[in-house]
Structure 1
């Protein structure tokens, strides 16, 4: 069974693999509801904190 898996992976080149990944990603994006992308409150709070830290500090000088 391992030999069969190795043969299959050798048959897929990078271009084919990338195409498959892109197609799967596109289908996932279409199937996920837009409202599902809203972050839970604790995670949204942490993301806001990271944004604050990433802002240029020059304005505080």
Structure 2
């Protein structure tokens, strides 16, 4: 290597650049899609407690 930097890049138009960016973005979204998380055990207990309290304390609905 002789220490010179050679720029072999070719210019691309805006439409091509946009298409490439869109394709890369779509691929990233597919591969980095978050997996659905289960609520923690503590949160599940709290939700169960809330449901239990709600079902036991329903106010009477007037006619």
Q: Which has the higher helix share?
A: 1
Q: Normalization by structure 1: what TM-score?
A: 0.44
Higher gyration radius (CA): 2
TM-score, normalising length: structure 2: 0.43
